[in-house]
């Protein structure tokens, strides 16, 4: 078949795949039956010809009104009346196929945009779009509903019956005790030791004081307390000292003896059936041991607090507080809360044995009993208490070793010591050759870093003991021998 004019011949590969074989002359095989001739349609009615006939100068269908100005009418070789008709892809059989954008239709003003196929249409309803009557009706309905609801709630609240205030025969649920108090617990120690701790009440003509005490001899009725608790009543006419026991009973107390140099005093009460405390040994106490403090802080009898031993051999000076106490004790330090009124009470270890007598607390204003507990309490070791108490019970007074010097704490930045400011004539210190302005730095090989440490080191010996005292004089140190006296 010859090529069609104006159409380029197909490529060889396409011709080989789809071309007509050379031996075939026509489009179909020769033995195909000839189709019957198509019937010729009848001419259209006259009314149709008049309805669809060209008008306004047009010479045929598909032309603009008025025909094609300046051009010939359409023919089979030139069927296009638009100038760019040849470039129209819909009329170009060789134009490549492709999908274009969806059809766009002009929107009328105020028309709602059609919804996308895969997204539901969303219509925004605004209050201003609602009719005025509908808006007023909705507002009145809301007011009516609120009024009805409030009125109903008020009426029901006024007329509803209240629940009865009393319910006779009601019994609360009971649970079985689940607390175990093992031996050695704080509760166990308190139960065993509290009967041996008493409250001390001192009554004067225009004043009074309270403290604590510990029964150390149940048969004779001896009670140990602090000197500063009872010193104000000694020898004062009309003064009264009374001991109040854990069962609430009381008894008058007399002063057996008191020692301002150690802040220890012993009282005697007349009461049968006393329970004495078990005294331990302060030499067996180590830092960190649990302890329990029992006494009458702030007049609250039978108060129990607990803590640990914070430090040992802590030199603490006690003086003033309205008494003649002037002592330096080698104290046990504890963080068990101790407050004014605990003085003379018991500091007990984990076995229930008394290891100290509570005496002082450290406060922001200094060491004494004027402030509250800040976790720094001090107790006289029970070994010292036992020795002084036995002397007081035997003779009414206690004897201490003395060096016969007065000192104050000093330091040169590298070494601390006790500066001698006064030496008593004829004292052991004077006989040993100790002079004023000497700095004592050691006693029997033990370091001395303050005047309190010097007092504690001397008091640890008995009168008549010979001690070696190391002093610094003129930039060099020397040792002297001193025989301690009695005070």
Catalytic positions, please? 228, 263, 343
Tokens of 185: 């617990």
Burial of 388 (0-12, 13-18, 19+ CB in 10 A): buried
Write the CA distances from 60 to 57, 72, 81, 86, 357, integer angstroms: 9, 12, 11, 20, 135
Helices and strands (H and E) in the chain: how many: 8, 21
3-state DSSP call for residue 189?
helix
Q: Within 13 Å and on the Cβ side, how many CA atoms surround 357?
A: 34
Burial of 74 (0-12, 13-18, 19+ CB in 10 A): middle
Output the DSSP codes for 89-135: TTT-TTSPP---PPP--PPPTTPPPPPPTTS-------GGGS-HHHH
Q: Where are the alpha helices (DSSP H) in 124-237?
A: 132-159, 186-193, 227-230
CA–CA distance, 293 with 18 (Å, rounded to integer): 117
CA–CA distance, 103 with 38 (Å, rounded to integer): 40
CA–CA distance, 66 with 431 (Å, rounded to integer): 155
CA–CA distance, 250 with 375 (Å, rounded to integer): 31
What pairing do the DSSP bridges indicate for beta strands 476-483 and 466-473?
A: antiparallel
The answer to whether 50 and 62 are in contact (CB under 8 A) is no
Chain Cα centroid distance, residue 240:
50
CA–CA distance, 351 with 104 (Å, rounded to integer): 101
The answer to whether 386 and 277 are in contact (CB under 8 A) is no
CA–CA distance, 240 with 253 (Å, rounded to integer): 8
CA–CA distance, 461 with 485 (Å, rounded to integer): 10
Tokens of 95: 């134009």
The answer to whether 480 and 456 are in contact (CB under 8 A) is no
CA–CA distance, 148 with 146 (Å, rounded to integer): 5
Closest Cα partner for 209 from 283, 292, 265, 165? Answer: 265
Closest Cα partner for 190 from 201, 181, 199? Answer: 181
CA–CA distance, 133 with 448 (Å, rounded to integer): 103
């Amino acid at each position: 078949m010859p090529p069609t004019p104006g159409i380029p011949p197909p490529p060889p590969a396409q011709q080989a795949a789809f071309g007509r074989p050379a031996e075939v002359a026509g489009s179909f095989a020769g033995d195909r039956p000839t189709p019957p001739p198509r019937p010729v349609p009848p001419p259209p009615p006259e009314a149709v010809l008049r309805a669809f006939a060209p008008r306004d100068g047009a010479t045929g269908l598909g032309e603009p009104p008025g025909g094609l100005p300046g051009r010939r009418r359409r023919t089979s070789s030139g069927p296009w009346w638009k100038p760019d008709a040849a470039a129209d892809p819909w009329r170009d059989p060789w134009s490549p196929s492709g999908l274009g954008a969806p059809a766009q239709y002009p929107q009328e003003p105020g028309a709602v945009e059609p919804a996308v196929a895969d997204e539901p249409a969303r219509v925004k309803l605004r209050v201003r779009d609602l009719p005025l009557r509908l808006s007023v009706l909705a507002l009145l309905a809301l007011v009516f509903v609120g009024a009805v609801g409030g009125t109903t709630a008020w009426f029901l609240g006024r007329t509803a019956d209240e629940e009865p205030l009393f319910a006779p025969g009601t019994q609360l649920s009971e649970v079985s005790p689940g607390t175990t108090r093992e031996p050695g617990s704080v509760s166990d120690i308190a139960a065993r030791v509290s009967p041996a701790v008493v409250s001390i009440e001192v009554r004067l003509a225009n004043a009074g004081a309270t403290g604590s005490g510990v029964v150390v001899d149940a048969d004779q009725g001896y009670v140990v307390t602090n000197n500063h608790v009872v010193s104000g009543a000694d020898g004062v006419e009309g003064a009264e000292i009374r001991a109040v026991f854990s069962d609430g009973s009381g008894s008058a107390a007399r002063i057996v003896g008191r020692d301002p140099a150690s802040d220890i005093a012993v009282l005697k009460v007349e009461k049968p059936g006393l329970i004495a405390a078990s005294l331990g040994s302060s030499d067996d106490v180590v830092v960190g041991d649990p302890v329990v403090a029992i006494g009458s802080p702030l007049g609250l009898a039978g108060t129990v607090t607990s803590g640990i031993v914070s430090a040992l051999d802590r030199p603490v000076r006690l003086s003033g507080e309205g008494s003649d106490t002037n002592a330096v004790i080698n104290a046990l330090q504890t963080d068990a809360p101790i407050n004014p009124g605990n003085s003379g009470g018991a500091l007990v270890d984990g076995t229930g044995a008394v290891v100290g007598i509570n005496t002082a607390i450290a406060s922001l204003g200094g060491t004494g009993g004027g402030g509250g507990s800040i976790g720094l309490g001090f107790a006289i070791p029970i070994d010292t208490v036992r020795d002084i108490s036995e002397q007081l019970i035997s003779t009414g007074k206690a004897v201490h070793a003395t060096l016969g010097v007065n000192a104050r704490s000093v330091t040169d930045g590298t070494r601390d010591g006790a500066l001698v400011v006064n030496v008593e004539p004829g004292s052991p210190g004077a006989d040993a050759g100790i002079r004023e302005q000497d700095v004592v730095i050691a006693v029997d090989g033990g370091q001395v870093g303050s005047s309190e440490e010097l007092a504690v080191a001397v008091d640890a010996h008995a009168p008549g003991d010979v001690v070696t005292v190391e002093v610094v004089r003129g930039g060099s140190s020397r040792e002297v021998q001193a025989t301690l006296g009695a005070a």
